[in-house]
Each structure stands twice: as C-alpha cells, then as structure tokens.
Chain A
Amino acid sequence: MSRSARLLRYVLARLALAPVMLWLLATLVFLLLRLAPGDPVDALLGTRAPAAARAALRAQLGLDQPLLGQYGGFLIKLLKGDLGLTLTNQQPVTEVIGQTLPASLELGAVALVLAAVVGLAVGFSGIARAEGRLDLAARLYGIGTYALPSFWLAMVAQLVFAVWLGWLPVGGRFPPTLLPPAGSGFYLFDSLRVGVLSGQWQALAGTLRHLVLPASTLAVLLSGIFANALRLNLRRAMASDYVEAARCRGLSERRLIVRHALPNALLPVLTISGITVASLIGGALLIEVTFSWPGIAARLQEAIAQRDYPLVQGIVLVVAALVVAVTVTVDVLVALLDPRLEF
C-alpha cells in the first residue's frame, strides 16, 4: 500500500472514531453533571421559593423526568443537531455558542500569531552563539513565561496599561459607546469590513484597543512554548549528522540553518502549535475572566456554576469536535511534511 493510501486510511480511521469519542464524552458530561449535587433550580432560586414552586420549576425545565428519559431525549436531539435550550434563559445553545466561540477564537488566533512571531524570533535568536547572552536571555524568557501565572501577568498588564496609563481599556471586547459590528461575530474581521465599506474606522480601533491587552498577555504566555521548542529542536538539529555532513560539504552556516536544520526543527513546533490551537479553542479561562472577555471558556464556567446542563453539554461537545478536527488536520499536515513518519 502506498504511503498516501496509508495516510488516507489513518485519517479515515481517526474521523470514524470521532463520533464514538464524542458520544462517550457527551455521556460522561451528561452523567457527571447530574451526579454533582445541586441543579439549575438550586442555582436559580438559591434558598428562596417554597418547595412546591421549586418542584414546579423543576418540572418546567424537564428535570423531574427519569435520568434515562433525559439521556434518551438528549441523544435524540443531538442526532438531529439540536443542542437544546439553555435552562437559565431558554436561549438556543447553538446561539450562545455562536456568540461566544468567535470571541475565543479571535482572541486565540491573534494571540497565537503574536506568540508564534515572538516565540520563534526568541527561539531563533540564540542559535548564532550557543550559551551567549542572547541565548541565555532566550532561555530565561522561555522559562519565565512558562512560570508566570497568567492571572498575575494579566492583572499587572491591566493595572499598568489600563488603570495607571489609561491607554487601553480594562476589559470587555468592544467600546460600550459603540454598537458592535454585525456579521460573523469575529469583530476584527467585521469591523475591518465596516471600515473598508464605509470609511468608519472607529469600530476597528475600538476592537483593536480591547484586543491588545488580552491578546498580548496570552501571547507572552504562549510564546515561551514556541521559543523553547524551537530553541531545543534547532540545537538538536544543528548537532545532527546530516547537518554535520552538509557542513563538511562546505555549505554556509546561513544556508545550513535555513535549508537543513530549520525545516526539521519546525516540525515538532507545528505539532505543538496544533496542541496549542486545540487548547485555545476551548478558550483561555483565566485571561477571559480577568479581561471580562465574553468567550466560550468564561461562559462554560458560568454555565457550570448555574448547572445549566444543556449549555455545558453543548459547549463541551462543540469544543471537543473542533479539537478533534484540529488535531486530525495537524496530524495530516505533519505527515505530509515529514516523509519519515509511518502509519
């Protein structure tokens, strides 16, 4: 069987397993949520309301049904692509996800690009002189950003740039004095479109102002991963036999790095990027909470506190499906780029 056929078989197998995995995950989330003490009525009403009113609300929300019946109903709806209504405000779960997922994806994408640029630059910077000052600084940067608690960095950034200097907003996603641009839910894209079409750039400036602090904080935290990964892999590649052989053939150091060592060093970075993207799809909870970013992670956290079963189930499922899609895509990309991989 040719390599491409084997790759195709591998991808199809992964995709075929995805629904099973998602079903298992959905079942697990369904059961865990209901095993946890307290339900949406407790979250909504607290200690108030007489027992009869609580029972009535439980019945209204369908929580008085037997667990098996609830599970069956959930699966049937799921097969039809219906994630149900939130228990707290009867809004379609897909609508809530549609509102919050773009916010997380936008933040994650901008942070990832920034992190990749900064991280790869830092990781690459030390290669010229191993154990030199630049290399040491790169290493310190990598370790430092790993070690920094994200909420601490976020709060310091907030304090300096928003409270003391007043350059940037403390939190939120868009200026409260403007109406967010309609469209895809990706404000950067939508406000850019508004700017291009109407010449009104206020929305874009507002979006950027709100994006700078959370995105750059997240980027700093992520960039250490890229810097360390590239630095270590580049160092390993530079010490490998094929680079030594190339050097013996008289290739310049620049060509040696760019043409031989770097492509090989970047392959593991690609895998790491995939994992990072997958983790960012679910949102960056601490960043979202600190900067009041209305993303999917913050919404999931609230939904768990409210015991909003359909919303928690829906968010977990959608995020899991996207993570599966991203990891399969990255696997395929790595396989296409690295002919040494076997399936």
Chain B
Amino acid sequence: MPLDAPEPGQRHRLGRSALARLLTLVPLLVLLGACQSRRDPDRLIVASRNRIDTVDPAGASTIGAMQLLSAIGDPLYAVRPDGSIEPRLAAQLPRISADGLRVVVPLRRGVVFHDGTPFDAAAMVFSLERFMAIGTLSYLLGDRVVGVRAVDSHTLELRLRKPFGAIPQLLSAINLTPLSPAAYRSHSRRQLSDRFVGTGPYRLTFFTPQQQRLEPFGRYWGRPPANNGLDLIALSNSTALFGALQSGEVDGLLSQSLEIDHQVALHQRSEQGLLVQATGPALNIVFLSVLSDQPPLNNPLLRRALALSLDRTRLIERVSQGLMAPLQGLVPPVVAGGTPQPWPAYDPAAARRLYRQAGYCGTRRLPLELTFRSNVPSDRLFALTWQALLQRDLGDCVELKVQGMETTTAYRLLGDGAFQLIVLDWMGDFPDADNYLVPLLGCEQAAGSVCRKGGSASSGSFWSRPGLEAELQRSATITGPQRLELVRRIQRQSADGSPYLPLWLVQPRMWVRPELALPRFDGSGRVLLQELRRR
C-alpha cells in the first residue's frame, strides 16, 4: 500500500492518540501542582524585585540589602515613624561634649551575636572601623568621624571632625550595624558577601542573591519575631511579582521597583479588601535637575517660569494615577524642616509672564531638552506627559524635546553639565534634612552663583549662591528650632533660584495577603519584617 494512502481510520487513530497523549499532560501538571512542599503557616514568604548581591554591611548599598540587614542586624538607634529617635543597641541617646567634637554612646548590655559571642564596645569599634576602611558608603562615617574607641566594655566614643547635630540619625544607618569580631576575624578588611553574624532578631541561615532564609534568633535581646521565620525571594520582573501575590505563592510584596501599573492594581485590590496595604514614610524624592550655569537656563527668570509650568497634580495623575504625592520642596515633609514646601504651584499665567519677560512667547519659543532615565518607566511617562501639557498650555512659549538615556550613562555625564533638564531621584542614607540639602546644594568651590565643584555640580545643576555653603555647614552643627528655621530658609532661597524642580515623593508600600495583619514601617522607610504575622 502506498504511504500516502493511509488505511481508513488511521488518521483519526493518530489524532486520537495525539489527543490522548496531550490529555495525559494535564493530570501530570495537576500532579506537579499538588506536589508542593508543605508550608509552615507561620513562616512567611516575602517577595521583591531586589536581587541582593551582598549582605555585608560594608558592601550593601541597595534598598533591598538595607531591608534585609534591618531584619538580621540592629542599628545603635532607630528612627520611629514619627521621626523621633529610639535607642536600639545604644542604651540611651548620645552625650555630646561641649565643643561638639566628642560623642559618647552608652551601649546595651546582655546582647549577644548570632554566634553566641557578647556584643560590647570593642565589637562596635571593630565594626565601625571596618566600615570606614572598606565600606562602599564609607563616606557616611568617614567624612564626619575621625576615630572611634571603647571607653569601657559598654561605652563607645566617637571623635568628630566638626560638630554634627544629626549624630543619632547617622547612627541609625543600618550599614553601621555591629558584626561579631570573632566571625569576621579573617574578613576584617575584606567583604563577606554571603554570610552575616550580627545581633538582629533573625539569623541568616541561607543566602543567594535571589533567596534568603531567616530564622528567628532564640537569644535575641528584644521582642522575638511574631512569625516562625521568613523566606525572602527576588523575582526579576514586576509581572511575576504581581502574579506571585495574586496566586498566593508569596505572602507579601515590597513595592520597590514594581511597575506603577502593578502598584496601582495592587492598591485598588487593597481598597476592595482583597489585599492589605501598608505605607511607609515617603523619603524618596523625584525632581528635575536644571542646568543653571549655561544659557538659556542660567537666566533665573526662565528657571522660575519652568517651576510655575509644572502641573504636578495632572502629571502625577497620569504617571501614577494619584499614587504619589506632589512635592514642592527638596526635603520630604516627613523629615524635620521639610515643611512648608516653598516651590511654587502650577500657574501658567504667571509662567507665561516670565517667559515673555525673558523674550519668549509668540514668535519665539524657548527650546529645551529634557532627558529621562530610559530604564525608569515613570520617568518616561512624566517626560512625555509634561511635553504634551506644555505644548497644550504654553506651546507658544516653550518647545520641549525629550530623550531617554540609560541610568548609569546619565549619572556619568551628569557632572559634565550634559543635560539641560534631567529627571532624577534621591533618598537620603538616613532621614535628616542635611542628607537632602547637602548632596544637592553643597558646593566646595563656587564662583558667584555658579558651583564649580561639589554636590550641586555633581547633581547637574551647578547652582549656588553666596553664603549657601556656610549655611549648610552651620545647619549640620546646630539642633532644635534654630536649625529648623535655617533649613526652611535654605529651602526658600533655593526655591527662588530654582536649580531643581521637585516633582513628587515615592512612598514605600507593602501588600500582603488578607490573612496577614497590617505590616508596619519604621521611620527609615523599611518594613518591620519581625512584626509580620498572620491574623
């Protein structure tokens, strides 16, 4: 029989057998689905997009790594959600000498490291010196502290370069968490990226960049964790994270790097009671850096006009469907000195008057170029929306061109004055006004209103004004109402110069399954993982 003449029914048999094979796959998948490992209901899985390359406080610089460190380590002080300071491994608030150059920190007694060795001043000295020697962010301490020493077994002394008012806030940085000198003996001057021996409520028992296993530390000095342990996992894209929470594969989800569409969808689900949403203090600011030393934006009138051209409400509605809060200052409102917000609100009529005064509008339009970070989706959406809004409302005065650039490339070119306008974001290493003002406005070398060297230059603005640097330095040394007034004045005067245009605040969020209790954030914007629990 020729091959192309099958027996009657042969094709049907073939079709049936293929169908039968296909159908066997379905039960196989169901079987695999059923083969899930049994979970301890009080162990929780928390997912985020944060791949963590190192758990060494000396090398950690990402938000994800800080979040992990805050669960396995303790800082000397912690910032409460209301901004006040709470001693953690310190027994009380620091005592500062009359000249402001010596800081004495009494330490808590009865604390042990995960390896059972005692925590004392020598361990704290070891950890701080190690951080200053090999820390990626060593400037945090190194720029302010000359040296540390143990006065006695449980008293630490820091010698400062110059008086620094926000010392408890500085010592709340989780990178300064103590490490067991015994465990890190052979790593005193090199990093140990995959192990951690500290004093926190959890022990790190397994570490890969994608997954970390935390077990409650039985000898923890403080309140024991409310759960039986945590598994932190990193999924590499926002869709997978969203799906994992939806399907119940994970118990909680952190908002960092989650696409705004997914955040909005999760927010809506939490409003419907399908999820529980917690929000932390908004410490991350998003702003435009304005190139102030080159024409045309070296003209203060134009910078002021641009500040009046930002319809933040509309922009935020489009970029985040209202999930972000508008920002009209450089210091977040939750940080002392962050209110009132001095940058002007949207006023197209006033903006038009200023553009006109500068010789634009009508036949002559101001050509501007806005750069956004191409790998940050909200930046792109902002750039396109603002372009359209300007075209609609002030199209006869301004012509905005937008272009994307990869983040690392943009950061490298920023200090070269390569961008007329660029969208950037910033979060201070610890919640203090100086951490926002100095990196953006600081200037080591200025010529009139142009900054040649310093934070303002490396942030792409190059703006300064006589006396600003002295005021910033003074702000670091004083405390109390005097300092608050100074911070407000610096912000007001900066708003007049408009070297930056604040856009919005990013608030950290966490979503958990409805069977979990509402999570809490600390004042540094990190979730208190040890408090996560089922209802």
> Contact residues of A with B, CB < 8 Å?
36-39, 42-53, 56-57, 60, 86, 88-91, 99, 128-130, 132-134, 155, 158-159, 161-163, 165-180, 202, 205-206, 208-209, 212, 253-254, 257, 288-292, 294, 298, 302, 305-307
Beyond A38-B409, A42-B408, A168-B29, whether A51 also contacts B458 by CB under 8 A is: yes
Chain A residues within an 8 Å CB radius of B459: 47
Cross-chain contact B54 with A47 (CB below 8 angstroms): no
B143 touches A168 (CB 8 A): no
Known pairs A57-B136, A99-B208, A179-B213; A167 contacts B240 (CB<8 A): no
Contact, CB under 8 Å: B33 / A89: no
A307 & B209 in contact (Cβ 8 Å cutoff): no
Q: B206–A172 contact, CB under 8 A?
A: no
The distance in angstroms between the C-alpha atoms of A89 and B138, with both chains bound, is 15
Q: What is the distance, in angstroms, from A43's C-beta to the closest C-beta of chain B? A: 5
B54 touches A37 (CB 8 A): no
Some 17 contacts from A to B, beta carbons below 8 A apart, are A38-B406, A43-B411, A47-B458, A48-B429, A48-B439, A50-B143, A53-B142, A60-B134, A88-B53, A99-B208, A162-B247, A165-B33, A171-B235, A176-B231, A178-B37, A202-B35, A305-B406
Q: Is B99 an interface residue (CB 8 A)?
A: no
Q: Do A46 and B249 touch across chains, with their CB atoms under 8 A apart?
A: no
Q: Which of A48, A128, A294 has the most CB of B within 10 A?
A: A48
Other contacts beyond A134-B14, A177-B231: 13, CB < 8 A? A37-B412, A42-B408, A47-B424, A50-B458, A57-B136, A89-B193, A99-B208, A170-B243, A170-B244, A171-B237, A205-B32, A206-B36, A294-B209
Q: Would you call A290 and B413 a contact (CB within 8 A)?
A: no
Q: Which of A57, A173, A177, A294 contacts B45 (CB 8 A)?
A: A177
Q: Which of B37, B137, B375 has the most A CB atoms < 10 Å from its CB?
A: B37
What residues of chain B lie closer than 8 Å to A254, measured between beta carbons?
Answer: 3
Within 8 A of A (CB), among B386-426: 406-409, 411-414, 424, 426
Query: Of all chain A residues, which has the CB nearest B246?
Result: A163
Chain B residues contacting A44 (CB-CB under 8 Å) are: 61, 136
Q: Is B234 an interface residue (CB 8 A)?
A: yes
| Bound Cα distance from A23 to B239, whole angstroms | 40
- Chain B window 246-287, contacts with chain A (Cβ cutoff 8 Å), 1 for yes, 0 for no: 111100000000000000000000000000000000000000
A42 to B415, CA, bound (A): 11
Chain A residue numbers with a CB within 8 Å of B213 are 176, 179
Contact: A166 with B247, CB < 8 Å?
A: yes
CB distance from B411 to the nearest CB of A (A): 4
Q: Please determine whether A167 and B411 come into contact, CB atoms closer than 8 angstroms.
A: no
CA distance A129 to B11 in the complex (A): 11
In the complex, the chain B residue whose C-beta lies closest to that of A254 is B3
Assuming A57-B136, A292-B236, is B32 touching A39 (CB within 8 A)?
no
Whether B137 pairs with A49 at a CB distance below 8 angstroms is yes
Complex Cα spacing A176 to B361, Å: 60
Q: Is the beta-carbon distance between B240 and A179 smaller than 8 angstroms?
A: no
Chain B residues, Cβ within 8 Å of A99: 208
Q: In the complex, what residues of A have CB within 8 A of residue B408's CB?
A: 37-38, 42-43, 305-307
**B216-241 interface mask toward A, CB cutoff 8 Å, 1 = contact, 0 = none?**
00000000000000010111110110
**Chain A: minimal CB distance from B161 (Å):** 13
A288 CB contacts on chain B under 8 angstroms: 236
- Which A residues lie within 8 Å of B136 (CB)? 44-45, 57
Contact B139 A52 (CB under 8 A): yes
Contact call A170/B33, Cβ cutoff below 8 A: no
Across the interface, which residues of B come within 8 angstroms of A174, CB to CB? 211
Contact flag A209-B210 (CB < 8 Å), given A38-B408, A163-B247, A171-B240: no
Q: Which 6 A-B pairs have the closest CB atoms?
A: A53-B139, A167-B33, A205-B35, A38-B408, A253-B3, A89-B54
Question: Pick the contact of A176 from B2, B143, B211, B239 — CB < 8 Å?
Answer: B211
**CB pair A90 B35 closer than 8 Å:** no
**A43, A130, A166: the one within 8 Å of B248 (CB):** A166
Q: From known contacts A49-B137, A212-B32, infer whether A292 and B210 are also in contact, taking CB-CB under 8 Å.
A: yes
